[in-house]
Structure 1
Amino acid sequence: MHAAVLMSHDTPPVYAEHPDPVATGEHEMVVQVLAAGLHHLTRAKANRSHYSSTGSFPLVPGVDGVVRDATGRLRYAVLDDTVLGTFADRTVIDVRRSVLLPEGSDPVRIAAAMNPGMSAWVALRRRFAFQEGQHVLVLGATGSAGRMAVQIAKRFGAARVVAAGRDTTRLKALPALGADQVITFDEITAAADVDVVLDFVWGTPTAEAMLPLLTARADRSAPLTWIQIGSIAGETAPIPSAALRAARLHILGSGIGSVPPRDFIAELPELAAAVTEGELDVQARAVPLAGIAQAWTSSSTERLVLVP
């Protein structure tokens, strides 16, 4: 079969022949890959910048995808740590980490949407007791995950969603997706009285925004939950100590480890249904797996989906 193969953390994958996969465990099955998203997580695990990276090479990347099982049914599957990911004609999945997809599911849309959509979906369902009518700030709303987060917060009943980002052109498109207000980081105090922050940015921008936002709150004793989800601007953030004293701030993270795999899997069917039914707007572009070298270094604003 063919696969995208990485030989080191600092070079793009190459399209090459690769040994066929073999199922060895009780719950494993060999499946045909139909579509696999090129996510930030995939690149980060490959270049060893993500905390869950194994650093093993050679590596076939790909953390999830839409697959066809031996009975012809379509599944969305999430892979555990493995050197044989979904950027291949076929791979091995643990059936317990997959869900059957609804009739009419578009493999490319599902592959594009599930990983970025899952970040906000799981954060609001499994890391924070979100309630209808609460107010949400999305930091980094112009990226794929942030764009999905705006829509998901509204779908869950947020009374107000504030979308913050640096790309003013992309910010202008977010009111059509449910954002009640769009702001730049320089205008962060406009979101002072939200109940929860979904942070896809972290790094210095978060550190510089946190204290002005907190000190501008009408009632600093009102709880604010800050959920760290992504770190596109930096792995560390120099949070000022005053931020932890000046307001009733609760900082937590949402991701692999802080949320058990079973909780992620439990949320997948409803998210897949929302994507299939068109409730969430998805920006996706299918590219051939054979073009992996070019796709790997692409700066496209669309979520690229590799199709064998």
Structure 2
Amino acid sequence: MRAIQITEFGGPEVLHETELPDPVAGPGQLLLDVSAAGVNYADTHTVENSYLSRSSLPMVPGAEVVGRTAQGRRVVALTDNGGYAQKAAVQEHLAHDLPDGVSDAQALALVVQGLTAWHLLRTSARLVPGESVVVHAAAGGTGSLAVQLAKEFGAGRVIATASTDAKRDLALELGADVAVDGAAEGLKERLVEANGGAKVDIVLEMTGGPVFDASLAALAPFGRMVAYGMASREPATPVAPAQLMGRSRAVVGFWLAHCLGRPGMYREPIAELLAMTVKGTLKPQVGGVYPLSGAARAHQDLRSRRTRGKLVLDVTR
């Protein structure tokens, strides 16, 4: 089978197309003929071995696929790497049958990024209707879904941040009440101004570094910031307990891996997201479709912040 494999850690340049033996499904697994694979920002960390879990070589990256079983079932599934390939063996309990009204790309937008957005709001931030929500990188895969879900879940004011006018316009189209520049300098002041002069209740933060610091400073008493990424690859200022106690603020970490296998935290949210997509109340944004051989270019585009929405590898090309 054709696959993208890395034999050394590094940036996009280590992603190479090659021929590999087909995987063999073990107990409790399904073997899929993959039609499309999702590209996530976490993949860029995985290939340089800078993610929360350690990587091992050689490796086929890719954490999500859409494909068909030998019996014809069309499913979307999480993978333990191995997604950038024509075939993948996936755990059956992490495979979800797809309705006809959902495209491959839409399904891929939901399985990692949609689930993450759902849990950021429901599980970690525990959004209460009427609260203000800041969504950083609001034109990205997770952010574009979080903007829509925050409105659907009753947020009083959704404040989007993004790096360009075009991305901010997209966030407004998706339902954000206001969109501001996401640069760290002056960010606290812009967030407070966007919230009518009041500090904010919830921040969904995936950049790290100075953006993390400014977001924490913008939190109201009893505000919650959920940290779920480190896209800047810059360290944030360490948070002392007194900083949290003095404003009754909370910083919550989130990693989707901890939801897998827990009752009610995988299949049920996925089913809800798929139903919303079929109904049209949730619109996953597809930002780019690349051939399998274009995996390195997809990583380059993602790291350079040139993209919006979900990036997909068309494994049939």
TM-score in same-fold range (> 0.5): yes
Q: Residues 73-112 of structure 1 correspond to what in structure 2 (within 5 A)?
A: 73-80=73-80, 82=81, 85-112=82-109
Q: 1:13 aligns with which of 15, 18, 22?
A: 15
1:232 Cα offset (Å)? 1.3
1:75 Cα offset (Å)? 0.9
1:258 Cα offset (Å)? 4.4
User: 3-state DSSP class of the match of 1:230?
Assistant: coil
Label 1:150 to 1:260 Cα distance change in 2 as closer, same or farther (>3 A).
Answer: same
Q: Letter of the aligned partner of 2:64 in structure 1?
A: D
User: 3-state DSSP class of the match of 1:198?
Assistant: strand
Aligned counterpart, 1:304: 311
Aligned counterpart, 2:213: 207
1:237 Cα offset (Å)? 1.1
Aligned counterpart, 2:157: 160
Q: Letter of the aligned partner of 1:305 in structure 2?
A: V
Aligned counterpart, 1:31: 32
Distance 2:17 2:300 in 1: 14
> Once the two structures are aligned, what percentage of the paired residues are identical?
29
Distance 1:41 1:204 in 2: 20
Distance 2:234 2:112 in 1: 20
Aligned pairs, number? 296
Aligned counterpart, 2:63: 63
Q: 2:193 aligned with 1:187, yes or no?
A: no
Distance 1:257 1:5 in 2: 23
Distance 2:35 2:279 in 1: 20
User: 3-state DSSP class of the match of 1:291?
Assistant: helix
Q: 2:198 aligned with 1:197, yes or no?
A: no
Distance 2:87 2:132 in 1: 43
Q: Which runs of 5+ in 2 are unaligned?
A: 182-186
Q: 2:223 aligned with 1:224, yes or no?
A: yes
Distance 2:101 2:136 in 1: 33
1:143 Cα offset (Å)? 2.7
Conserved? CA contact 1:108–1:284, under 8 Å: no
Distance 2:147 2:173 in 1: 10
Label 1:143 to 1:158 Cα distance change in 2 as closer, same or farther (>3 A).
Answer: same
Label 1:195 to 1:51 Cα distance change in 2 as closer, same or farther (>3 A).
Answer: same
Aligned counterpart, 1:51: 52
Distance 2:69 2:239 in 1: 51
Conserved? CA contact 1:13–1:296, under 8 Å: no
Distance 1:96 1:269 in 2: 14
Conserved? CA contact 1:75–1:101, under 8 Å: yes
Aligned counterpart, 1:291: 294
Q: Residues 259-278 of structure 1 correspond to what in structure 2 (within 5 A)?
A: 259-262=259-262, 263-278=265-280
Q: Letter of the aligned partner of 2:281 in structure 1?
A: E
1:104 Cα offset (Å)? 2.5
1:239 Cα offset (Å)? 4.5
User: 3-state DSSP class of the match of 1:173?
Assistant: helix
Q: Which runs of 5+ in 1 are unaligned?
A: none
Q: 2:168 aligned with 1:171, yes or no?
A: yes
Distance 2:93 2:59 in 1: 23
Q: Letter of the aligned partner of 2:45 in structure 1?
A: A
Q: Tell me the alpha carbon deviations over residues 165-224 of structure 1, each in whole angstroms, 9 at most, x when there is no partner.
A: 33343213322211112223251222444322111222222213422x24xx4xx4xx11
Q: 2:137 aligned with 1:140, yes or no?
A: yes
1:235 Cα offset (Å)? 5.4
TM-score (normalised: structure 2):
0.85
TM-score (normalised: structure 1):
0.87
Q: Letter of the aligned partner of 1:301 in structure 2?
A: T
Conserved? CA contact 1:122–1:264, under 8 Å: no
1:19 Cα offset (Å)? 0.4
User: 3-state DSSP class of the match of 1:172?
Assistant: helix
Aligned counterpart, 2:237: 238
